[in-house]
Structures are given as structure tokens and as C-alpha cells.
Structure 1
């Protein structure tokens, strides 16, 4: 049983390192066409900051707790960070252009991962169960809106994807929210194994 916590402890830094390495290649290795016009300079700055925001907030709150109550939620941190790695890897492997349905699957699955990670962090403090489900779904939808605004601002408004951005954005928002709903249902099922009480 000892190896499992060690593996979990290394999962968030490994996900961060793999993401940053691919971002660095996209930004600084010239001549890779699939990276052009996709704001990898902004991503190289913002992705690591966003990936570290949740662990930093957790550490800031945890310092006030007694040491016995500071079990580090490595699995939740990893889930929150994985969508950034999936996004960058999709670009590195040219999946956004080569696989028609990749972008749609990406939004669905990444929002499931992100919402599940956030749910594992905040879920134990939220009662009743339906409130946790609504909160996580709403939070996921809000983050999906923020993500789409970020995409529009960084590379869509002056890029080649502007003509079909409206339809794509609506689909991405719907899939992101659906992914958040699925994650919310899974997290509430895991955290509330007892029967629902009204």
C-alpha cells in the first residue's frame, strides 16, 4: 500500500512538467505549423499559473489547520491540472486538426476532470448533496464561459477561426457544462455514499 501515496505525490508535478515542456516547444521551436496562431506565448504564461492556483489556494488555507488535518489532496490537484496537459498534448499531436471530434471530446472530458478535482476539494464541506451537485455544475459552466472568453481574446478574434467561432463556442459551452454535470453526479455519489436525506 505504500507506493500509492508516493505515486500520487508525484502526479501533479509530473503533469505540470509535461505541460510546460510541450508549451516551451510550441513557443520556442520554430517551424511547427500546428502551433502557429494559437497563442502559445500566452499559454506558456497562463497555463502554469492556472495549474498552480488551486494547490496554492489549498496550501494557503491548510497552513491554518493543525498538521493532522493537512492531508494533501494529490488526486484532486492532478484532476484539476490534467485538462491543461490534455489540451497541449492535443495540439502537440495535431489532434485538433486531424481528428474531427477531438475538440468536442476534449471539452467534455476536460470539464469532467476539472470539475471532479474541484468537487473533491470543496465537496466534503458542502451540504446537502443537491447543493453540491448544483454548485459544481454551475462552477463548471462558469469556468467554461471564462475559457471561451480567453480563447476568443487570445487567438480567435484575429485568427482564421472567426467565421465559425459562434457555433463552435456554443458547442464547447454545452459540452463543458455537460461534462461538469456528469462530474458533479459522480462526485456527489462518491462523497455521499449514505442514502440521501431531505
Structure 2
């Protein structure tokens, strides 16, 4: 059966519990990091601020989508798969801290900046996919938006724990690398979305 609002087959796609589960798992780990004392790997990483900030940021994209959809009344099904992609980087980041991967694996932080930006911007691009013409513009839009988000993220990291922490001496070089990897991840996401569009009839 075809959904009249979207022209897509009903029953397909990612169910709502997937992004909801990602949100719940992320919040649960953040609560442990914030309120359970004596866990060294969570020390001096601003988890109190992350608990509030991540809760709001993870809810932002779905909230905007539902507000816009409510106004337009097109009858589209919520893009739960795209929501899951947008939320996944927050879960990956928090889980990496929970498993102490940032301190035990030298390459983990670099991988996160590349892969998480690819996931985040891939999800945002998937939401905008039907609204952007010509489709190659989506590559530029996703890459540019990802670069802006990468700058915002680095500013947030500096403000919350780098400026008064132990990483100030190496922050400049690390920030340049993170910005580059985040932008490259956004570019890969944009190219992947463009390729996906071209492959569809």
C-alpha cells in the first residue's frame, strides 16, 4: 500500500523505537557519568553540561521536523531512520567515554570526528533530500553545514573544559585535525546521499 502523503510504501523504514532507544541509552549513560561518583574516566569532561546539552540537541531535529510538518500538514511519515542517524553520534560519543575508548585507543577521537559527522550530516541531508534541487547542491549544503557544526562543536569543547583543563597546550593542533575530519565526514555523507539519489529510478 502506498502512502498518499509521501508516495512511499507503508510498513517500510526504521521503526520509531530505534531513535527512541538511542536517545534513552545516551541519556542513561550520561546520568551515570553525572550522578555516580568515583568514576575516573568521566572526571573533568563536563558531563553535567553534556547531560543538559545532549538532551536538548538530540531532541532539536525531531522537534523542528514535527513543528514544520504540523504547519504544512502533508501527512508525511516521520523519517525515523534519519532521526536515528542524527542521534547516533551522541550515543557513540558517550559510549566511547563509558568504555574508556578515548584514553585507551589513540585513534578513537579521530575516528569519531569523521564517522560521527558522516552520520549526523547524513541524517540531516536525508531529511532535506526531497526539498533540494538540483540534487548536487545537497553535497555542498551538507558539507557546509557539517563544517559549521564542527566549528560550533570545537568552540563548545574549548569553552566547557579545554580552556581551564590540561589539554590547552595541544588544543590548537587537535582542533585543526578535528575540524578537517568533521568536514571530510560531512563531504562523504553529502556524496553518499547524492549517489543514492542518482541510483534510484
**Which TM-score applies when normalising by structure 1?**
0.93
Aligned to 2:139: 133
Q: Per-residue deviation at 1:65?
A: 3.1
Q: Per-residue deviation at 1:119?
A: 0.4
SS at match of 2:199: coil
Given the alignment of the two structures, is residue 8 of structure 1 paired with residue 31 of structure 2, yes or no?
no
C-alpha distance in structure 2 between counterparts of 1:10 and 1:4, whole Å: 14
Aligned to 1:28: 35
Given the alignment of the two structures, is residue 119 of structure 1 paired with residue 129 of structure 2, yes or no?
no
Residues 92-123 of structure 1: per-residue CA shift (max 9 Å, x gap): 00000000000000000000000100000012
Considering only aligned residues, what root-mean-square deviation do their CA atoms show, in Å?
1.8
Given the alignment of the two structures, is residue 181 of structure 1 paired with residue 187 of structure 2, yes or no?
yes
SS at match of 1:151: helix
Given the alignment of the two structures, is residue 156 of structure 1 paired with residue 156 of structure 2, yes or no?
no
Aligned to 2:72: 65
Q: Per-residue deviation at 1:88?
A: 0.3
Kindly indicate which of the two structures has a greater share of residues assigned to helix: 1
Q: Per-residue deviation at 1:194?
A: 6.1
5+ residue gaps in structure 1?
none
Question: Which runs of structure 1 show a deviation greater than 2 angstroms over 4 or more consecutive aligned residues?
Answer: 1-5, 64-67, 191-195
Q: Per-residue deviation at 1:66?
A: 3.4
Residues 20-56 of structure 1: per-residue CA shift (max 9 Å, x gap): 0000000011000110000000000000100000000
Aligned to 1:104: 110
C-alpha distance in structure 2 between counterparts of 1:124 and 1:2, whole Å: 18
Given the alignment of the two structures, is residue 45 of structure 1 paired with residue 52 of structure 2, yes or no?
yes
Q: Per-residue deviation at 1:70?
A: 2.0
5+ residue gaps in structure 2?
1-8
SS at match of 1:63: helix
Change in Cα spacing, 1:194 to 1:76, as seen in structure 2 (3 Å) is closer
**Which TM-score applies when normalising by structure 2?**
0.91
